[in-house]
Structure 1
Amino acid sequence: MRLTAPRIQPVRDEELTPDQKEQLEPFGGRVLNIFRTLVREPKAMRGFMGWGNYILSRRNGLPAREREIVILRIGYLCKSGYEWTQHVPIGERSGLTRDEIERIKQGADAPGWSEADQALLRAADELHHDQFITDATWALLGKHFDQKQQMDVVFTAGQYTQVSMMLNSFGVQLDEGQTLDPDLKGF
């Protein structure tokens, strides 16, 4: 975690305005710190949630496992302990093994990746480092993913770069019961 305390405090239940309550209502009982923080600005959260819901829905052309490869790689590259911690179990539910999740940290050159998985990891790396996918990586993606899926790789990486920037800068802390991955301590 980059910060040991929030810069922007999550909203407590007793502080919620009617607009904030409306924004958090779909989450039911347990509301994660990310949403308790973002709801400080309910109009911004409303817009953010629209795009985020696309990325995490079946409207995103990437299968859930492949989407989580991109999300986890971006979260790791952005040194976002909160993002990584939230998406590890989502990745597992989406079909990633514990070993694969650990190898995401190493990137496309770690042994054991399929060519399609390597393409996703390389695309995430290139987008993170240069905000551009090279022709070689684009062609490799095209061997395994259709045009919509290629676009959704970029959309997903962009969304989770933004999420990581918010989490890191706002100092969103892990939710109760979560443990930070040791490889993300000290960032």
Structure 2
Amino acid sequence: MSRIAPLEPPYPADVQAQFDRIMRGAPPLMLFRVMAGHARAWEKFRAGSLLDRGPLPLREREIVIDRTCALNKCEYEWGVHVAFFADAAELTEAQVRATVLGPADAPCWSAAEQALLAAVDALHHRATLGDAEFAALSAYYDADQILEIMVLCGFYRTVSYLANGLALSLEEKAARFPS
């Protein structure tokens, strides 16, 4: 289940309102329930302001999140995002699989998406972007989008640490890593 006990219903009114806003009527994820049981951690988590839409289109946002979670071996969060957003982001089965098992330059990706994945890989492995990686991103994304890409990578690395460190059980409706 979780190494730290999750908040159990009924939830305080303010927490229920936050869950309703984030989950749009679906039951809250285990990760959210654990975090919400600890006011300071929950506040900091939500203050990341990355649970909303940003300057990236949904497709690119999900590619960044899926790849970051896959690189961090976080099946929990990867599975949640694939289950809830892959269809809306128009990710094919081959692309979903490639977020876990494929190289950044896999032929299932457009040139812009390959630049995006190469940047995610670089940030994960080296904690920086080389000049060539930054130039490739800049060919397709503006400054606000590039900053969002970097912040998303950092935020979802943290989410991966939380889900993995808490040993969260996979959500029932979440996808599973391809073998």
Q: Do both share a fold (TM > 0.5)?
A: yes
Whether contact under 8 Å (2:94, 2:108) holds in the other structure is no
The answer on 1:102 being equivalent to 2:108 is no
Mark the CA change 1:179 to 1:56 in structure 2 (over 3 Å): closer, same or farther. closer
Within-5 A mapping of 1:154-173: 154-173=150-169
Mark the CA change 1:165 to 1:20 in structure 2 (over 3 Å): closer, same or farther. farther
Normalised TM-score (structure 1): 0.83
Mark the CA change 1:168 to 1:139 in structure 2 (over 3 Å): closer, same or farther. same
C-alpha separation between the residues in 2 aligned to 1:120 and 1:37? 31
Q: How many residues align?
A: 172
Whether contact under 8 Å (1:10, 1:33) holds in the other structure is yes
What's the CA shift string for 1:132-184, capped at 9, x where partnerless? 0111110000000011111111011111001000110011212234453344x
Q: Which runs of 5+ in 2 are unaligned?
A: 21-25
Superposed CA RMSD? 1.9
Deviates more, 1:64-73 or 1:85-94: 85-94
Normalised TM-score (structure 2): 0.87
C-alpha separation between the residues in 1 aligned to 2:18 and 2:62? 23
2:16 corresponds to which of 20, 24, 35? 24
Segments ≥4 residues shifted beyond 4 Å: none
Q: Which runs of 5+ in 1 are unaligned?
A: none
What's the CA shift string for 1:69-98, capped at 9, x where partnerless? 000000000000111110103132122222
Deviates more, 1:133-142 or 1:99-108: 99-108
Query: In the alignment, what sits opposite 2:23?
Result: none
The answer on 1:135 being equivalent to 2:131 is yes
Mark the CA change 1:20 to 1:164 in structure 2 (over 3 Å): closer, same or farther. farther
C-alpha separation between the residues in 2 aligned to 1:142 and 1:43? 36
Q: Which amino acid aligns with 1:124?
A: V
Deviates more, 1:93-102 or 1:133-142: 93-102
